[in-house]
Structure 1
Amino acid sequence: MSRMNILKVSLLSILMTITIYAADQPKPATSFTKEKNEQVLKELPFNNMQDFEDAKRGFIDTIPNLVIKNKAGTEAWDMTKFDFVNNKEIPSTVNPSLWRIAQLNNINGLFKVTDKVYQIRGFDISNMTIIEGNTGLIIIDPLLAEEIAKTALDFYYENRPKKPVKAIIYTHSHGDHYGGVRGVADEKDVKSGKVKIYAPEFFLQEAASENVYAGTAMSRRAIYQYGALLPKGVDGQVDAGLGKTGSLGNTGLIAPTDLISKTGEKKIIDGIEIEFIMAPGTEAPAEMLLYFPQFKMLNTAEDATHTLHNLYTLRGAQVRNAVVWWKTLDLLLADYGDKTEIVIAQHHWPKWGKENISNYLVKQRDIYKYIHDQTLRLANEGYTMNEIAEVMSYPKGLDDEWSIRGYYGSLSHNSKAVYQRYLGWYDSNPANLNPLPPMESSKRYVEFMGGSKAVIKKAKEYYNRGEYRWVAEVMNKVVFAEPDNQEAKNLAADALEQLGYQAEDPTWRNEYLMGAYELRNGTPKVPDTFGTNTPDTVKAMTMDMYLDYLGIRLNGDKANGKNLSLNWELPDIKEKYTVNLENSVLTYRKVNSFTKNAEITLTMDKTVLDAIQTKETTLDKEISSGKVKISGDVNKLKEYLGLFDSFTPDFNIVTP
């Protein structure tokens, strides 16, 4: 599954349906946490307020008490829950650097960037950029959810002339950059050619696949990364780094009409010239940046924002290529630096002025190359992944730059990403080649340490000394050895909570606080409908992708010794497949004609398959209606359908 992912936020569109239990009250910051957070104020240049000036520049208007409802009538976006962040006094339970970015991300509304260029910021985790063409509008990245995008466009129209949408540009294949498309365009207008949609090559495949193959696991893990179940507050969720959080609405997808495949490719869209810069394999597997000669403006999409970005996402994804990333930024400096006076991105606020922009892009470029090069230098000196992460720090010249602070990525987990990309998970120490699984290992550790009571007693001494990392590690052993030991869970939660209060990176904070929440309150229950396979995503899947996912769902143990051969025809897309189950493996081939010896022949339109997958109908209903035709043993087919697992994202994380 993805290489980076929609999951960044699209899964949040259904988190509202999760049952949330009354949580044990969080605890205050300890003296050690207060001291560590106070030290941050001394180390970073908090007197530099340029970002606040830039974030407010061009402000036109906003919606007071910004609350947007979704189609279900519940809150899709509520900025009022973050009003507490506007307090100038920094709470002891929040890292001051995190408090700073949270305050910047609270600035919301419609902003004028330059003549004909506007941005809606703070209505979602991402920005909607609006370019005024000769006769209509070009919308870049229509946010995450339909309801949010519609509200944003309507708000723009309240302040600017009501021109029709002529074109939409998806900068890359993550849901917060296309999911709201149905709020700004009708699919009929796209199909008729009235509205064009531009996207990078392979956009559709990446947008669909990243929500499917490992989507359930990512959905569960993303609850931790984004802290969606945490209350908003000084001891809960404060921010998401790239923005406040993800909106909770209908995430859609309309297929692009025009794909961009080459750097330097130019289009004139409604009188606006755009030069495209391909950036696949940077922040997303399918991504492109934009240059507007008319405005001397560069849109860096998500390759340069006001944060150190992820080379690896905590929810899980394929590692990104730091080399491709820094070289892409260097290309921007080389080819566009002298002719760029404005830089915008699809998160955060713009920068103006050649000198400011050059300094900004240089430091963005250099941080990725620094992490890459220093990680490999240390690896070649024999340091392991965790040892490298422990000593990785900002060099002089990059240590006081706000735009590369770890508000989404971090020096720690980005260096681990580089190590993983080149050397993988194994550190070459044979003791780590085949370790015992966590539960078995934990039981033995606890036994060696004198039993759980002795471990807890000792861990409390370390907690009282502020050694929270160690307490969290050792209490994890006790929890996995004795899953019902609530005293151990509570002490582990206390340690994680203090680590969360100290974290500069909001995703780290969310991870720690979600772990504490679940240790104290248990794993949240999720409905059967929870998942990232939205109707638009399912429709975008090719049959190859669907069959790949079917193979992932096959339970190898249940399928042991079973064999099946199937011919599968999909008349509406004019495709035929032979599918075989053998050796607990599902294989398939696209064919022009069927083999004669298949046990079953299945005929259905792809649209019917899509409807079954989105639970709009069932296989039995469609067999009865005649839309699904089966030649061969129907009962055997149904029996074999029982060999496939259904995934639910409610598995345990901090407990076995």
Structure 2
Amino acid sequence: MSQPKDATSATLAAQAALLASLPAEDGVDFERARRGFIDTLPDARVETARGGVAWDLSPFDFQGGGAPAPDTVNPSLWRLAQLNLNHGLYKVTEGIYQVRGFDLSNITFVEGNEGFIVVDPLTSAEPAAAALALMRKHRGDKPVSAVIYTHSHVDHYGGVKGVLTDADIAAGARIIAPEGFLAEAVSENVLAGNAMGRRATYMYGALLHRGPRGHVDSGLGKAVSSGQVNLIAPTESISKTGTRLTLDGVEIVFQVTPGTEAPAEMNFFFPRHRALCMAENCTCQLHNLYTPRGAQVRDAKAWSFYIDEAIDLFADQSEVLFASHHWPRWGKADQVAFLEKQSDLYKFIHDQTLRLANHGLTPLEIAEQVKLPPSLADEWHTRSYYGTISHNTKAVYQRYLGWFDGNPANLHKHPPEAAARRYVDAIGGADAVLAKGRAAFDAGDYRWVAELVNHLVFADPDNMEARNLQADALEQLGYQAESGPWRDFYLTGAQELRLVRPKATTPRQGATGQLRTLPADQLLDSLSVRLNGDTVGRAQPAMLLTFTDADETFSLKVRNGVLHHRPAKPSETAIRLSRNTLVDLVVGDRTLEAAATDGLIEGDAAPLSELLEQLDRFDFWFEIVLP
């Protein structure tokens, strides 16, 4: 595999132009990010039980000491990367503490009468447990009295078993979440989980070396932790703004904000502490209306409305604002100024996209035209470190008008490989494409190289000249990107083009941790997207399943190529097994014969065998930059 290359003269010119356009650096964000620091772990390093590393900031040492941006890193992204190096336990206000820099997200601890209320227990269990240990070291060895999930993204619930034991969960530990949390968490991380997880390796730079020519920052934080991920269902849901709960003696006032940064999300206020949690609805950057890893398009208009509503509900009382990423803000004036501009940021993109759409412009045209007004562009917290104006305008268009731009030429286009062969032939063959691509590269037109040479790569994926030229173009686009996810997408694409990955004979499946902790109904629902409609034919297997660990029975049947399940009454004819055994059978960790031999399944399993034969196993490492 060829190594990453230097920044070209065109990239150097782009970095210099961007640097000259940035807001003045007043150092205030750096003061905010360090305020209230108490303690940390060396390099925030957290190991797994098997001796692996779930989290470690030492690979980012190259960013420390106030070093200037390398030529291969956008100078604005470099500034944020240095801010996100801050890590450890911080005091937000009396009774509220955060551990930041132990994962992509923050974990917050609120002191109750008897223990700690945990807000957003990170992506994986090991960093969450390390954060709790750090809190206990300085604030007392107290139990976790409740957990709050602010929303349905995995970096805000996946580490729950790092703060709650199995005994806590069995004893009915209170877990609070917005209404619809479980359905949305399953939708993103299970039903579409394989595709989203693979794309997330691009978005968060999971396969990239940490360094000036690789991953430097994810925008929301340094990276995503790699420990144990679980999904534990909430015990209580918040469905109405104004709902008040008292957890461990602490009163909380909730604001539900559906359709904003997540389909199920909520902000909340602590009257005793005069502290407002804005979840992930306000971060120190422009967020995603559409996330490149793939998810439902978010409602920019509703997002703006709910930020304004939070100002009306809580701003007069709040003395500190904190969130699930980045650093807090103190004082009413600073909070309100921040919230108003965050609100206007999403409303501006929404309104201007629709203004131009109503003039007849397409998503690609709109993305080139929308620019922030000076009053928004002058702020660091509106910059495109995570979401970008380009892909957010396209998201607004998609939400209102869908993927089709109205041009009938785009209504029924050829798929990539078929189109690629035709384009290469029309241009005059592979040599002609390469010649035009090299000329565009020498001119610094990397966007055109990426579009043009992509056709040759998809027409002939074994053409290493084409792959390497495409990689070189994507690499320069990555070096220039202000958005952490854009940089990682470009650089991961370049890396995979240069690397010839051997073909696999069997699916290389992703983690199944979340499958194993799903409620029975959600687990069965996840099987429906595995049913292969091309091979099931006229087969109609039907059965009763009783889950021995959940004491629930369901009827399953295939009808017209669709898998249906419904709750059913217990029956002696039901196949009896645990949810964990079913997952083993679905992903191939255990055969049906072995499960029967080991006494893990009872009853006539023939219908289940017929169904299992029709269920796909997903290959996590499907190709993205290759056909």
- Under a length normalisation based on structure 1, what TM-score does the superposition of the two structures give? 0.91
- Of 574-583 and 162-171, deviating more is 574-583
Q: Match of 2:374, SS?
A: coil
Q: Match of 1:586, SS?
A: strand
Give the structure 1 partner of residue 230 of structure 2.
252
Task: Indicate whether 1:122 and 2:93 are aligned.
Answer: no
CA positional deviation for 1:608: 4.1
Give the structure 1 partner of residue 615 of structure 2.
644
2:592 to 603, 614, 619: 619
Give the structure 1 partner of residue 424 of structure 2.
446
Give the structure 2 partner of residue 519 of structure 1.
497
- Of 163-172 and 311-320, deviating more is 163-172
Q: Match of 1:290, SS?
A: strand
Residues 243 and 348, structure 1, Cα contact 8 Å, conserved in 2: yes
Q: Which residue identity lines up with residue 621 of structure 1 in the other structure?
A: A
Question: Separation in 2 of the partners of 1:170 and 1:525?
Answer: 40
Q: Deviations over 1:245-294 (max 9, x none)?
A: 01111112333333222211112223322111111221122211110112
1:140 to 100, 104, 119: 119
Distance change >3 Å, CA 105–CA 524, structure 1 → 2: farther
Query: What aligned pairs does 1:272-421 form with structure 2 within 5 A after superposition?
Result: 272-421=250-399
Distance change >3 Å, CA 549–CA 163, structure 1 → 2: closer
Q: Which residue identity lines up with residue 62 of structure 1 in the other structure?
A: T
Give % identity: 49
Give the structure 1 partner of residue 483 of structure 2.
505
Question: Separation in 2 of the partners of 1:64 and 1:565?
Answer: 56
Query: What aligned pairs does 1:521-536 form with structure 2 within 5 A after superposition?
Result: 521-523=499-501, 530-534=509-513, 536=514
- Across the aligned residues of Structure 1 and Structure 2, the Cα RMSD in angstroms comes to 2.3
Give the structure 1 partner of residue 529 of structure 2.
552
Task: Indicate whether 1:563 and 2:532 are aligned.
Answer: no
Residues 515 and 523, structure 2, Cα contact 8 Å, conserved in 1: no
- Of 155-164 and 99-108, deviating more is 155-164
Q: Deviations over 1:526-553 (max 9, x none)?
A: 996742431x54332332x333332221
Question: Separation in 1 of the partners of 2:361 and 2:501?
Answer: 36
5+ long unaligned stretches in structure 1: 1-22
Question: Separation in 2 of the partners of 1:196 and 1:640?
Answer: 37
Give the structure 2 partner of residue 112 of structure 1.
91
Give the structure 2 partner of residue 179 of structure 1.
158
CA positional deviation for 1:616: 6.3
Q: Match of 1:65, SS?
A: helix
2:560 to 575, 578, 583: 583
Question: Separation in 1 of the partners of 2:475 and 2:593?
Answer: 49
- Of 578-587 and 342-351, deviating more is 578-587
1:59 to 37, 55, 64: 37
Distance change >3 Å, CA 159–CA 364, structure 1 → 2: same
Question: Separation in 2 of the partners of 1:614 and 1:581?
Answer: 19
Question: Separation in 1 of the partners of 2:574 and 2:28?
Answer: 67
Residues 190 and 257, structure 1, Cα contact 8 Å, conserved in 2: no
Question: Separation in 1 of the partners of 2:130 and 2:554?
Answer: 44
Question: Separation in 2 of the partners of 1:546 and 1:254?
Answer: 13
Residues 146 and 250, structure 1, Cα contact 8 Å, conserved in 2: yes
Residues 225 and 510, structure 1, Cα contact 8 Å, conserved in 2: yes
Question: Separation in 2 of the partners of 1:348 and 1:524?
Answer: 40
Give the structure 1 partner of residue 472 of structure 2.
494
CA positional deviation for 1:366: 0.6
CA positional deviation for 1:472: 0.8
Q: Which residue identity lines up with residue 552 of structure 1 in the other structure?
A: V
Question: Separation in 1 of the partners of 2:424 and 2:168?
Answer: 64
Question: Separation in 2 of the partners of 1:315 and 1:645?
Answer: 22
Residues 421 and 456, structure 2, Cα contact 8 Å, conserved in 1: yes
Residues 94 and 234, structure 1, Cα contact 8 Å, conserved in 2: yes
Q: Which residue identity lines up with residue 560 of structure 1 in the other structure?
A: G
Question: Separation in 2 of the partners of 1:613 and 1:637?
Answer: 10
1:602 to 566, 571, 575: 575
Question: Separation in 2 of the partners of 1:181 and 1:564?
Answer: 37
CA positional deviation for 1:181: 1.9
Task: Indicate whether 1:196 and 2:201 are aligned.
Answer: no
Residues 127 and 141, structure 1, Cα contact 8 Å, conserved in 2: yes
1:242 to 210, 213, 220: 220
- Under a length normalisation based on structure 2, what TM-score does the superposition of the two structures give? 0.95
Distance change >3 Å, CA 150–CA 564, structure 1 → 2: closer
Q: Which residue identity lines up with residue 329 of structure 2 in the other structure?
A: K
Distance change >3 Å, CA 190–CA 574, structure 1 → 2: closer
- Of 440-449 and 554-563, deviating more is 554-563
Number of residue pairs the alignment of both structures matches: 625
Residues 154 and 189, structure 2, Cα contact 8 Å, conserved in 1: no
Question: Separation in 2 of the partners of 1:631 and 1:561?
Answer: 22
Q: Deviations over 1:55-94 (max 9, x none)?
A: 1111122223332111221111111111111242111111
Q: Match of 2:292, SS?
A: coil
Residues 509 and 617, structure 2, Cα contact 8 Å, conserved in 1: no
- Of 195-204 and 362-371, deviating more is 195-204
5+ long unaligned stretches in structure 2: none
1:427 to 377, 394, 405: 405
Distance change >3 Å, CA 525–CA 100, structure 1 → 2: farther
Query: What aligned pairs does 1:462-481 form with structure 2 within 5 A after superposition?
Result: 462-481=440-459
CA positional deviation for 1:189: 2.4
Question: Separation in 1 of the partners of 2:193 and 2:622?
Answer: 13
- Of 612-621 and 234-243, deviating more is 612-621
Q: Match of 2:447, SS?
A: helix
Give the structure 2 partner of residue 75 of structure 1.
53
Residues 69 and 77, structure 1, Cα contact 8 Å, conserved in 2: yes
Give the structure 2 partner of residue 261 of structure 1.
239
Residues 523 and 650, structure 1, Cα contact 8 Å, conserved in 2: no
Q: Which residue identity lines up with residue 358 of structure 1 in the other structure?
A: V
Q: Match of 2:73, SS?
A: coil
Give the structure 2 partner of residue 93 of structure 1.
72
Residues 128 and 139, structure 1, Cα contact 8 Å, conserved in 2: yes
Q: Which residue identity lines up with residue 559 of structure 1 in the other structure?
A: V
Q: Match of 1:550, SS?
A: helix
CA positional deviation for 1:576: 4.1
Residues 525 and 650, structure 1, Cα contact 8 Å, conserved in 2: no
Give the structure 2 partner of residue 11 of structure 1.
none
Residues 507 and 617, structure 2, Cα contact 8 Å, conserved in 1: no
CA positional deviation for 1:435: 0.9
- Of 259-268 and 350-359, deviating more is 259-268
Residues 539 and 610, structure 1, Cα contact 8 Å, conserved in 2: no
Distance change >3 Å, CA 528–CA 439, structure 1 → 2: closer
CA positional deviation for 1:220: 1.2
